[in-house]
Structure 1
């Protein structure tokens, strides 16, 4: 029997980073009910670079009055069912995602999350074989944030 290393533990919310997109310190909700991770972004245009499809999109941070323009490889256009049961066609990108000290390439759909509390949702595809979720805690992989027990926001 091969030895498996223990998985890192995440809370129900964490601070994550998308370094290739220039996005850091993004509050994210950990959601094992969602398959695909999702980022609040507005698609501006599709384009090609060196024969590869890309998406240019904007990520808005209204509290800071900041709009970050990002570019990422366009992987797919997918029907994704949202929390209200509605299926939407969404752009899917692939980019490095950093949670705690672990970095890996993740597929992330771009969605309008303006009415959501968290601009990013981390789905089970990104968590699988990397993390286990402790739903009774927050900020377990978020340096600079004190871990919080319970669901207080």
Structure 2
């Protein structure tokens, strides 16, 4: 099947959602998605809910706190925010749902509002085991390439 031209593809907005509940609450992706659809249908009606097309892209929950990434059609972000504000329970467990922010890309939404920073890495040359070798540095950790494999090292290994 052929892809639509870029100007005909649907455009999306991504909502970063924070979730708070009691520590013993049992929430999963499926039940939260169902609650999102139910809230949108009750607030916006069948046609409005279909237009907003809310769907859950990612979901994490544990120990009473969680976060989710919800996708909505462009132009319906404020309606989606209102529908999410209507969620007060999931599977009978009381929850608090709040929108942290809205972005035009998944990556931007994750980095800016969900705290999932891009991993910074860089290549450099180091002296390891009496030879100069290529290494990849990520968040203070250094992986040195040794004959097709990597060895983990720290800054202290090079001094």
TM-based fold match above 0.5: no
| Higher RCO (CA 8 Å, separation ≥ 6 residues) | 1
The alignment's TM-score, normalised by the length of structure 2, stands at 0.27
Q: Which has the larger radius of gyration?
A: 2
- Which structure shows the bigger proportion of residues in helix conformation? 2
The alignment's TM-score, normalised by the length of structure 1, stands at 0.28
